[in-house]
Amino acid sequence: MGKSRRRDTSEVSLCIKYLVFGFNVLFWLIGCGLLSIGIWAWSEKEMFDNFGKLLEQDSGSLFIDPALILIIAGVVTFLIGFAGCLGALRENTVLLLIYIICVAVIFLGQVTIGVVGFLYKDWAKDQITSGLKQMITSYRDNPDLQNLIDWVQQDWLGCCGAKGPQDWNDNRYFNCTNPKITAESCGVPFSCCKIDKTEVIKNTQCGYDSRQTTDGKLKAAVTKVYSAGCIAAGEQWLSDNLIPVAGVITGIAVLQILGICFAQNLRSDIKSQMAKWG
């Protein structure tokens, strides 16, 4: 009789239950971290004290704001992780279903982006180029965006502009045709400069006048600037790191699939238990 009772009360697998719970605690903490960083970045720019700044930005500039992207990603991750945590811990089939649907939608979205990017490479490349040029235009208007571009150009890819240094002519502070409103006119940001390991103090003026011409020839400063655009440099980086990148993408996809399968298994066990006890 005792053995029968143990079998009857062990339909919900504790292993799967706490595996789903533990995985989503981590997911929830990541969401909290992203949300906190995004809110901190916005507070540093005093966006919460002056919401008028949001209205002054056009939609293109707003949606490439790194802080806003972190806030949105953090909220979504937080809510999905919370649904998974609470659904597993309280054995709530509705919350587990919401969690399964959300993860499945994200997974299908990633697959769709991958397929579209593979089938329409030129279109995808044009979209990325257009986005980068929009970011270049807003370079001095958003400190977070400026830091992101500087990191990509100097620390990650070693590049300048979307297709090359001339893309910086789209930014009013680096434009060559407008009157010389700043010392940076007809130049590029310091992050476009090739790293000189002998420098003790970073030269933040190395890009000044680097696109300026004298008698039809570029100044010598241009030799200190990366000539490759970030699109070409990104393609080369992806080619050089294809196996690690594919491994990371596959690992994320496997985790998402396992999360869906485990949550559905747990949900089925819970419903079976509920049906037995009426």
What pLDDT score does 46 carry?
Answer: 67
What pLDDT score does 185 carry?
Answer: 85
Predicted confidence (pLDDT) at residue 116 exceeds the cutoff of 70: yes
| Cα end-to-end span (Å), the chain | 21
Q: What are phi and psi of 213, to 5 degrees?
A: -110, 145
What pLDDT score does 4 carry?
Answer: 45
Alpha carbons 237 and 36: distance in angstroms, whole number: 31
What pLDDT score does 57 carry?
Answer: 57
Here the tokens at position 122 are 């030129």
- Mean pLDDT value across the chain: 85
Strand partners, 188: none
Predicted confidence (pLDDT) at residue 81 exceeds the cutoff of 80: yes
Predicted confidence (pLDDT) at residue 5 exceeds the cutoff of 50: no
pLDDT-based confidence at residue 181 (cuts at 50, 70, 90) = low
What number is the average pLDDT over the span 103-117? 94
Predicted confidence (pLDDT) at residue 126 exceeds the cutoff of 60: yes
Furthest-apart CA pair in the chain: how many Å? 99
